[in-house]
Amino acid sequence: MIRHIVFFTVPDRANLEEVRSGLSILTAIPHARLLEIGTNMKTDQLGTEVDLVVYGEFDDEVALAAYKAHPNYQRSIERVRPLREMRIAADYETATAAREPF
């Protein structure tokens, strides 16, 4: 399984909900096991610059590639890119899915 995590900063706070809405387009893409859009709670004393997070779980590289090739992925980019500043992405393989909360 592959975990896909992307961090975003939004320099103009007035655009935060518009960026979140643009990222939410991604949740309609069918290739992910799980896809979440989250707002950083900024509770870490050393890392408060990240505003929004995309977290996804994919069965394999083929599923991740299909997700990125989906038209909604490009639609999201077109809405979000003009409003965001930093974007940092990381993908890594793992043998386990995230556990459901108790």
Domain boundaries, the chain: 2-41+51-93
Q: Say if domain 2-41+51-93 classifies as CATH 3.30.70.100.
A: yes
- Asked if 3 contacts 92 with a C-beta cutoff of 8 angstroms, the reply is yes
> In the numeric block, which tokens belong to residue 69?
């090739």
Q: Is 2 helix (H, G, I), strand (E, B) or coil?
A: strand
Q: How far is CA 71 from CA 19, 67, 77, in A?
A: 18, 9, 10
Please give the chain's pLDDT, 102 residues, in tens: 999 999 999 999 999 999 999 999 999 999 999 999 999 999 998 889 999 999 999 999 999 999 999 999 999 999 999 999 999 999 999 997 666 655
- Using only C-alpha atoms, the chain has a radius of gyration, in whole angstroms, of 14
Residue with tokens 């103009």: 12
Ranges of beta strands (E only) in 1-102 are: 2-8, 34-39, 52-58, 87-93
